[in-house]
Structure 1
Amino acid sequence: MKRKLLYLTCSLLAVALVAAAINAQTLRRLYHTVTLFDDDVIVGNFSNMDQLFDAVTIDASAPVTVFGHSPQPLPSEFQHDGTPRVTRDFLADTNTTALLVLKDNDITFEEYYRGTNAGDRRISWSVAKSFLSALFGVAVAEGSIGSLDTPVSDYVPSLKGTGYDGVAIKDVLQMSSGVRFDEDYARFNSDINRFGRLMALGGSLDEFATTLERERQPGTYLHYVSIDTHVLGMVLRAATGREITDYFNDKLWSRLGAEDSTLYLVDAVGEPMVLGGLNMRTRDFARFGSVYLNNGFWNGQQIVTPEWVAASVTPDAPHLMPGERDTSDLSLGYGYQWWIPEDADQEFMAIGIYDQFIYVNQKAGVVIVKNSANTHFTEDNFSSMRETVSMFRAIADSVATSGDQDTSLAAAQQ
């Protein structure tokens, strides 16, 4: 009897200890979620997300693709809406942590700020959406996904009866699902903040997606819904029969020539946060941008088809075009998880909150990566985002002009 009682006591103690550990872990995640964007810790947090939340690591497995170097200073100032801005002041004002400029395969400028360095693996936020789009393009090219007109609920039966029931894959790719979603980071009970608390307290992103309802006809209105990208991940898993991390490594990461591993934040059941959970070095963000700069060709192989690249960065309906329109979203255009600025000339961008950017200018042969911790990014209807585009264009023009001058000088010397 005493032995049974001792066994029961030990068992209960073990359960209590496990529960305490789980609660402690949950409280820790909740604390980090609540304080994640505080001014005194945001920079460090954005470079150390795996120390704050659950994450999986995808190792770099291929020989590193080495960039050349052709140093060139940034333009001292740039024009935005007819007003000059001092470049260094703007970088400081937007709490920039890294800026890298790539012309073809040469780094012309690379600098790290706020105590960060080249080895930091920085959170992508929604820049990760463009990586997921690339994976989707591979699945389409390989025939795993037959048509973008197929409803997402055909691949994922759990979405039947939800806001995503019957919605075409293409509409979800183009943030035109018609699903109701409040992405207001300043409102406590917004959907995006409910999502954040789910990541902190534990839960399934798949289940979260099934709670959303329809508010508009799909394919008619550009409304940014981060969970749309998670639904694309659900479709990708179902279509390929593979886990996201495995497919990501096989089709993309192992082919980039990355110089370090990447991290994916995961939910309580281990599912990657494909809508914004990638963490990697700034140079590796640039390597991905180079894939799209070169129409899907990089590191000696065609990673994404040129057709998918072109379709991804080409708005093909009135509600997706850059410029003022009858929506509450930005005046940027939208493709397959890529943004297109107004008056674009072979330009497009991956964008994440707090001012994360991969800017690609195919005409100039330029990729620019900007990592930031800008807590004022929503002010004045995201004015810093529009100013950043102006700065990128000035940098691209400067680099392209310098390249032309160098070519002319070389020809003259010959």
Structure 2
Amino acid sequence: MNRADYIFSLFTGASQRDNFQRLDTLFPVAVMSASPAPFHFPEAASITLPSTFAHEGTLRSVEAFLAETETMALLVLRDGAVVHEHYAPWGGRDVRWVSMSVAKSFVSLALGVAVDEGLVASIEQPVTDYLPALAGSAYDGVRIKDILQMSSGARWNEDYSDPSSDINRFAHIAAYGGSFNAFAATLERQREPGTCNLYNSTDTQVLGMLLVAATGRSLADYVEEKIWHPLGMEAAGYWLVDSEGMEMAYAGLNATARDYAKIGELYRNRGRWHGRQIVSEGWIEASITPDAAHLMPGASDLSDSLFGYGYQWWVMGGDEGDYAAIGVYNQFVYVSPRRRTVVVKLSASSGYGTTNDETSYREYETIDLLRAIASST
């Protein structure tokens, strides 16, 4: 299989169990080395997973759902210790699994560090202060904050089941080569920025471009120093890159389940990691707090999701205070501060995206599952 074969097998119902753990053999990658001081989560008494969970008034089987969504890894931390860990026979603890859009939350974290360091003066600035090449595009004069909140106003269609959608046009670059950055400059404005939450993977790519411009370093290099090594990542991480060496910021990270869990645990602890403040507590709070009408959880004409949105983090409704990094094919890093719990679910749900709705996405259903796991004893 070559990379074009892989890209065009996505959202068709084809099995991705093997592909998602070997993308470094199909794509050029930038490598982030394992931490010289790896952190290993302690282990605590195991919890018993619930046998069922409720979704839309119906009890569903946990075991069946995990199987149907082809769960490669399910890792549960409570108070920072492993209380449940399971891998499919076709996966494993050492497997580097593609993040899909969980990568977006890592990019947000990196931007928070850059803001803390003064490399980005303010997210109230127009992104074109740093990226003049985007002048005349949808991003011309748009606040960095609006891009962080998926509210850039760019015209966009992220329908995975539509071969002619914008996200699938974007995917052609990964399949055949080209520039992710050049693609961003082709987008046109549809709405006033900061008025509508429309999920757009190019928004995150622009944030990756911003980080490169502000730091003078590659995304992988900056993340390695500021996040990967400080969090004690146990394994090397890979970013898929384009023909020019630019990282696929919006979806191209590859890491192990235990290393993905560390970003969840960092956020649960308000940016503090074993005595060191990796990113400011204020950035964490803003990242998980919808602060405008179009970002709030619940059905709204101002958003294309029932979840709320922060700085590249999804915020659940209700009074649980939970939030998650979410990627297609059912990748999740779920955080429940109230339950002192982080859950990582890495999956190869082959039906994902074969329809443009929850019947194949199953993301709201997954959150109900993860809430049930967080409440288990």
Specify the TM-score bucket, using the shorter chain as the normaliser.
over 0.9
Q: CA deviation at 1:124?
A: 0.2
Counterparts of 1:148-167 in structure 2, within 5 Å, are 148-167=123-142
**Matched AA of 2:171:** G
Q: Are the counterparts in 2 of residues 354 and 373 from structure 1 also a CA contact under 8 Å?
A: yes
Q: CA deviation at 1:122?
A: 0.2
- Name the TM-score, length of structure 2 as normaliser: 0.96
Deviations 1:352-398 (A, max 9, x none): 00110000011111000001111333457225111111111111111
Residue among 47, 55, 60 paired with 1:85: 60
Residue among 358, 361, 369 paired with 1:382: 358
For the pair 1:207 / 2:179, whether they are aligned, the reply is no
Q: CA deviation at 1:82?
A: 1.8
Deviates more, 1:238-247 or 1:166-175: 238-247
Deviations 1:149-170 (A, max 9, x none): 1111111010001111010000
Hey, what does 2:118 align to over in structure 1?
Answer: 143
Hey, what does 1:348 align to over in structure 2?
Answer: 323
**Matched AA of 1:135:** A
Q: Taking CA–CA contacts closer than 8 Å with sequence separation of 6 or more, which of the two structures ends up with the larger relative contact order?
A: 2
**Take 1:347 and 1:250, find their aligned partners in 2: how far apart are those partners?**
28
**Matched AA of 1:387:** E
**Take 1:175 and 1:268, find their aligned partners in 2: how far apart are those partners?**
26
Hey, what does 1:306 align to over in structure 2?
Answer: 281
Q: Are the counterparts in 1 of residues 100 and 250 from structure 2 also a CA contact under 8 Å?
A: yes
Which of the pair is proportionally richer in helix? 1
For the pair 1:219 / 2:197, whether they are aligned, the reply is no
SS of aligned partner of 1:377? coil
Residue among 54, 60, 65 paired with 2:39: 65
CA RMSD between the two structures: 1.5
Residue among 237, 249, 267 paired with 1:274: 249
Deviates more, 1:214-223 or 1:29-38: 29-38
**Matched AA of 1:238:** A
Hey, what does 1:197 align to over in structure 2?
Answer: 172
Structure 1: gaps spanning 5 or more residues: 1-26, 403-414
**Take 1:241 and 1:269, find their aligned partners in 2: how far apart are those partners?**
15
- Counterparts in 2 of 1:294 and 1:53: CA distance versus 1, 3 Å: same
Deviations 1:29-82 (A, max 9, x none): 222322355655411001111111111211112322121222122011111122
**Take 1:136 and 1:29, find their aligned partners in 2: how far apart are those partners?**
29
**Take 2:3 and 2:30, find their aligned partners in 1: how far apart are those partners?**
16
SS of aligned partner of 1:42? coil
Q: Whose Rg is larger?
A: 1
**Matched AA of 2:369:** M
- Counterparts in 2 of 1:328 and 1:147: CA distance versus 1, 3 Å: closer
Q: CA deviation at 1:241?
A: 1.9
Q: CA deviation at 1:225?
A: 0.7
Residue among 288, 312, 334 paired with 1:337: 312
**Matched AA of 2:216:** G
**Take 2:48 and 2:345, find their aligned partners in 1: how far apart are those partners?**
16
Counterparts of 1:4-403 in structure 2, within 5 Å, are 28-36=2-10, 41-69=15-43, 70-113=45-88, 115-327=90-302, 329-378=304-353, 379=355, 381-383=357-359, 384-398=362-376, 402=377
Deviates more, 1:27-36 or 1:68-77: 27-36
Deviations 1:91-124 (A, max 9, x none): 1111211111000121111111151111110000
**Take 2:291 and 2:303, find their aligned partners in 1: how far apart are those partners?**
19
Deviates more, 1:107-116 or 1:307-316: 107-116
SS of aligned partner of 1:234? helix
**Take 1:29 and 1:313, find their aligned partners in 2: how far apart are those partners?**
35
Deviates more, 1:57-66 or 1:44-53: 57-66
**Matched AA of 1:78:** F
- Counterparts in 2 of 1:93 and 1:54: CA distance versus 1, 3 Å: same
Q: Are the counterparts in 1 of residues 289 and 309 from structure 2 also a CA contact under 8 Å?
A: yes
SS of aligned partner of 2:84? strand
- Counterparts in 2 of 1:394 and 1:355: CA distance versus 1, 3 Å: same
**Take 1:218 and 1:350, find their aligned partners in 2: how far apart are those partners?**
23
Q: Are the counterparts in 2 of residues 103 and 365 from structure 1 also a CA contact under 8 Å?
A: yes
- Name the TM-score, length of structure 1 as normaliser: 0.87
SS of aligned partner of 1:35? coil
**Matched AA of 1:382:** E
**Take 1:206 and 1:115, find their aligned partners in 2: how far apart are those partners?**
35
**Matched AA of 2:286:** A
**Matched AA of 1:394:** A
- Counterparts in 2 of 1:53 and 1:36: CA distance versus 1, 3 Å: farther
SS of aligned partner of 2:375? helix
State the percentage of identical aligned residues: 47
**Matched AA of 1:356:** Q
SS of aligned partner of 1:68? coil
**Take 1:101 and 1:90, find their aligned partners in 2: how far apart are those partners?**
17
**Take 2:330 and 2:319, find their aligned partners in 1: how far apart are those partners?**
19
Query: Number of matched residues?
Result: 373
